[in-house]
Structure formats: structure tokens, C-alpha cells
Structure 1
Amino acid sequence: MKKLISTLAIAAGMMAAAGMAAHAAEVLKFSHTDNPGGSRQAAAEVFAEKVAEYTEGRYEVRIFPAGQLANDPKAIEQLQLGGIDFTVSATGSYATHLPSLNLTAMPFLVDTYEQGWELYDNSKWLQGEFDKLPEKGFRVLSTWEAGFRSFTTKNPLASPEDAVGQKMRVYPNDMIRWSMEAIGFQTVVMPITDVYLSIQQGTVNGQENPVDTIKSLRFYEVAPNITLTRHVYSPLPLTVSEATWQKFSDADKEAVRKAAAEASVFSRHLVKNSVEQQLEEMKAEGAVVAVPEILPFRNAVFPVYEKARGVYGEEQVNQILQDAADIREALPAM
């Protein structure tokens, strides 16, 4: 009798385990290139938590930071192939697959975070471009924050004259490259995961990124001159593989959208409210922070707008410039 009870107990346990396995959460892979202590990781953790909550545990978002699975361009390719489910990267990183998105990296489009949020949430032109992405294999769920791009260089950068003869790392984005060359730099394209060592070894003299990225990836250690030009607003669209998206039920799609929106609010306020503290922390570690006269930099990059018209067409360039102008007028910088 005891043997029978034991056998039944074992069988019941096996059935229970099988039942739990059948209801285990489906794992979704989230790749990004920020370090574990950075704002992208913090927002990704919020997103993962909310996805689990709003799908009632049907999905587990597993996060792979610091380029563990891929650098930014490769992660986007993996989205298209269904190898990963989510990534978050600068808008210009997606321009390889939809070149018009390069236009979001035109210099000095907006002056404040609030203007940038309005541009990404409500620009008719930009929303229309985002609507084209599902046919490329991925779609935008929400926009997270990185901030305004500025420079870290080995030598001081008080004006465009100081850029002449210096090598600046850029990511594969025409608009960024044109702007850097207009300022006077020689440009070198490389993945962000290679930048620290390349500056350290002298392959390049500096790089440009938002303060949050400069702090997270510690670029100030090898290029200690931080020059706050704020030349490009550079947020981070969160994207999902279209193959993954089409597997979701309507309810789960709504749950993922809701999680993405809440993570966006978290990301935007975290980055905006962290900049001054991050600058102070980097100064305490030896960085030199400077705010240059901006007009010479604005004047230097002015030809970029006309170059963009020649490549992308008058209509597209004028549409985004008009959207940005309307937003700057409606939400003036204080």
C-alpha cells in the first residue's frame, strides 16, 4: 500500500511539474549596448517588470546589456530575423533600413527635452516614417531618452577651429558624419562597443554622445574634455521584432504597448533629471566640463541642411524642419 501511495505521489508530482512547465513564461530577448548601471538598463528593467505584470506572467523579458548579444546595427538586423525580440537604439541607427530617419539627426532641431518629446510623439512627418518600419521587420513601441549629443575629446574643443585635424568617432549615420565634417573633424565610423579602446589607443581623438551615455560607458576617462554643444537631440526608440509582434494576441499587444509607454515616461524623466549630477560626478573623477559659444558651431553646420535637401529631397527636409520650428514656437525654451 505504501509503495502504491509513493508511486501515486511521484506521478502526481511529475504531472504538476509538467503542468507548471506548460504554463511557464515565454522568454523574450531584449538586447541593448548600455552598461548595467545605465539608464537604458534601468528603463529596460521597468519594461520587463511591466510586461510580466500586464501579461499576467505569460512573458518574461530577459535583458542582455552591454552588447552581449550584438552591437546596435547587428541588434536591429537580429530584430528583422527574429533572433531577438526587443532593442533600443538611437533613431539614426535604424536609418540603415529607412534612410529618411537620418533626418532626425539634423543639427539643432530642438533646444529642450520637452520640445524633443513633442517632436517624437506628435510630429506628423516622423510618425508617418515610423509607420513604414513594420514592413522592414520591426516597429517602434515608444521613445526612450538619451538626451542631447555633446563631445568628449582628448584636447579642449572651444570652437570648430579646434576640430581641424582631429579624428572623431561616429556611428553609421550620414547626418552625424556630415555635421562632424562640417565642424572640421575627420570622421571614423565604428560601433560604440569599440570606442573606449579606440580613444585609449589613439585611433580616434574623441566621440560624441549624450551625457548619459558618456557617463555610462565612461568615455570621459579616456577623453576627459566634455564640451556641451548639445548639437543633436538623440532619443532612443524602443523597437520590437515584427515577427514577435505578430505572435502576440491583441490583449498582449496592448499590454506590451502599455509597458513601453510607462518605461518611456520613466526613461525620459530619469535622464533629464540626472544630467547635472552625472556631470558633477565626472568632474569629480577628473573630467573638464565646458559650455562653448554655440553660434560658431551652429554656423559651421548650416550647410548640412542644404546637403540633406539634395540627398533626401526638399519636401521631406522641409516637413521635419517645419514640424520642429512649430514645436519650438509652441514650447519656447525658458
Structure 2
Amino acid sequence: MEASGQPLDQVLKLSAEQIAERTDGRVDLSVFPSSQLGNARAMTEAVQLGMQDAVVVPAAFIGGFNPLVSILDIPYLLPTNDDQAYQLRKSEFGQALLASFKDRGFVAVALWPGGFKHFTSNEKLEGIDDFEGQKFRIMDSRVLRAQFEAVGAQAMPIPFGDVYTSLQTGVVDGQENPLDSIARMKFHEVQEYLLLSAHGVVENVVLFSPTFWSGLSDEDKQTVADVFTNNAQELARVKGENQKQALEEIKAAGLTINELDDAEQQALRGRMYPAARDAFLEQAGDEGQKLIDLYEGVYGDITE
């Protein structure tokens, strides 16, 4: 999905090298960046049909293939501490989410970080009370809609490619994205406020075709899964460096930047998380409830 040289591309190529080395060349993965094989939906369908071996795809794009993955849209789901987030991905909760892809035509081997989201706006945005009445762009997600409605804001689904113009012309006041996405898409050129909230994640899922996967030995399957699971840490590190560089670029544009302290984060989580969780459960049913129960048990243990 990402362009050549971007963090995801870097770590994918590293993973392919490690897998080839550790399997003595039995598993040889080629990496095609910049959506060379199609858009997210086309590549995911190709993997499901066995026409493509694997894809690393943002969870937000594949809710139609597996509604349970929309749990990753819930705000304040992952801890901002990289080690704690890594433990959560590897936990019983993370494994159950990956396992939910099996009956839907995929082998999911790992969750990969894509960066924490922050809010920007052209209206004052310093804390929880400032969301009231503002309009924010979202990806088309009931969970994200509930997140904004919980703080009195209006959510409007707009394609990613139209966000800059929508901010510039006032169709919406603000948006949410990781800092590197904000800088890359130049959203900071048409925004006045940045609220460093780290409230949500853009998470990727590493999916393999069952056709390809069934051709691997048990030993090679374990090697592939281990490499992708462990390299979530490396991707978080590289992404973190990118976020720092992006923040400097955004600062240079002269935005008013505010950061939520721990108490404000907890207050915002207290408003957004329950509403978004309930919206997720409305569409995910009993399977979703089992995931939420696993998550809430593990999250408490990890973050205490």
C-alpha cells in the first residue's frame, strides 16, 4: 500500500529477507509497494481467491470482509506505550482477532502498527469541550461516527483524496490521522489547530491466502508468523521516527498545538470508548462481545 521507502515498505522488505534466510529460500516473498497490485479491496479479494499470496492492508479497509476487524476503529483501544501495544497484539485478544479471519477465507498472521491518530481543526481545539458542534471527516465507519457523536461533533464520511479540499473549503472543520499522514497529505496547510491525542490507531493486518499457506510446512508457517509478529516492534520504531519528523514539519507551519495530559486523555476515553464500543457491538454481535470481553481483561492487565 505505502510508497517505496516508506516505513511499511522498509519493514516488509526486511521481513521478506529474514523469512528467505530462515527458511533457506523455501519461502520467497516479493514486495510490491505503491498499490502496484491494485487498491486495498482488489488485493484483499485476490488473496481471498488465491490469486495473490499475501497483503498487508489497513484494518479500516476490510470491515466488509470481516466485521470483527472494526474493533480496531474503537478509540483508545491500544496503549500508546509501544511495548504494551506489542503485548496486546500478541495477547489472547490479538490472537482471537487474527483467528476470526479463518472462516472468512484468510490466514491472518499479525497485526502491524500504522501510527496513532491525532485531531486537527480550523476551529479552536484544545480539549474535550471544543469538539461540540464541529464537523470532522471520517472513514465510513459506524464506530468512528459514534466516537465523534459522543463528544457532540458531527462526523462526515469523505474519501481520503478529497480531505484536503474539504478542509480548505470548510466542508468539514477537521480530521483525524497519524502525523506522518497529515504531513504527507499537507493537511496542516489548511488547518489551524493540532490536538495531540493519540486517541486511535491506523492498524494493519498481515493476511495470507489459504492456498499459499497450505503449501508451507508447519515449521515454515511458524517462521513466517514469528517474523511478522516480531517485526511489529521494528515497524513501531520506524513509524515513531517518522512521526517525530512529521511533527517538526507541522510545527514549522505555525499551527496552534495542544497536547492532552493524562487526566484529559482519561476523560476523553471515558466519553469516546463506551460509545464506539457499543456501535461496534451492534454490528458484531456475540462474536464481537467475546472479543471485547477478551480485550477488556487483557488491557487492564497490560496497562496496570
How high is the TM-score relative to the length of structure 1? 0.74
The answer on whether the counterparts of 1:72 and 1:191 sit within 8 Å (CA) in structure 2 is: no
Tell me how far apart the structure 1 counterparts of residues 150 and 87 of structure 2 sit (CA, whole Å).
28
Q: Secondary structure at the match of 1:143?
A: strand
The answer on whether the counterparts of 1:111 and 1:328 sit within 8 Å (CA) in structure 2 is: no
The answer on whether the counterparts of 1:183 and 1:300 sit within 8 Å (CA) in structure 2 is: yes
Deviations 1:198-244 (A, max 9, x none): 43454433321222433344432333532111212443222223333
| Alignment correspondent of 1:120 | 89
Deviation (angstroms), 1:120 = 0.8
| Alignment correspondent of 2:295 | 320
Bigger CA drift: 87-96 or 49-58? Answer: 49-58
| Alignment correspondent of 2:269 | 298
Deviations 1:262-317 (A, max 9, x none): 53232022223443343123212444432144355334324444455555355543
| Alignment correspondent of 2:156 | 188
Question: Which consecutive unaligned segments of at least 5 residues does structure 2 have?
Answer: none
1:39 aligns with 2:7: yes
Tell me how far apart the structure 1 counterparts of residues 100 and 239 of structure 2 sit (CA, whole Å).
28
Q: Secondary structure at the match of 2:32?
A: strand
Amino acid at match of 1:320: Y
Tell me how far apart the structure 1 counterparts of residues 131 and 219 of structure 2 sit (CA, whole Å).
52
Q: Secondary structure at the match of 1:63?
A: coil
The answer on whether the counterparts of 2:142 and 2:279 sit within 8 Å (CA) in structure 1 is: no
Identity %: 27
| Alignment correspondent of 2:109 | 141
2:61 aligns with one of 81, 89, 93: 93
Tell me how far apart the structure 1 counterparts of residues 25 and 209 of structure 2 sit (CA, whole Å).
20
| Alignment correspondent of 2:30 | 61
Amino acid at match of 2:99: D
The answer on whether the counterparts of 1:146 and 1:212 sit within 8 Å (CA) in structure 2 is: no
Aligned residues: 295
Tell me how far apart the structure 1 counterparts of residues 290 and 24 of structure 2 sit (CA, whole Å).
46
Question: Which consecutive unaligned segments of at least 5 residues does structure 1 have?
Answer: 1-31, 330-334
The within-5 A match list for 1:1-334 is 32=1, 34-54=2-22, 56=24, 59-65=28-34, 67-109=35-77, 110-122=79-91, 124-250=92-218, 252-292=220-260, 293-301=264-272, 302-309=274-281, 312-313=285-286, 315-329=290-304
Deviation (angstroms), 1:155 = 3.1
The answer on whether the counterparts of 2:123 and 2:134 sit within 8 Å (CA) in structure 1 is: no
Deviation (angstroms), 1:254 = 4.5
The answer on whether the counterparts of 2:68 and 2:100 sit within 8 Å (CA) in structure 1 is: no
Tell me how far apart the structure 1 counterparts of residues 191 and 14 of structure 2 sit (CA, whole Å).
32
Relative distance call for 1:310 and 1:257 in structure 2 (3 A) is: closer
How high is the TM-score relative to the length of structure 2? 0.80
The answer on whether the counterparts of 2:12 and 2:31 sit within 8 Å (CA) in structure 1 is: no
Amino acid at match of 1:115: Q
Tell me how far apart the structure 1 counterparts of residues 47 and 163 of structure 2 sit (CA, whole Å).
24
Bigger CA drift: 223-232 or 272-281? Answer: 272-281
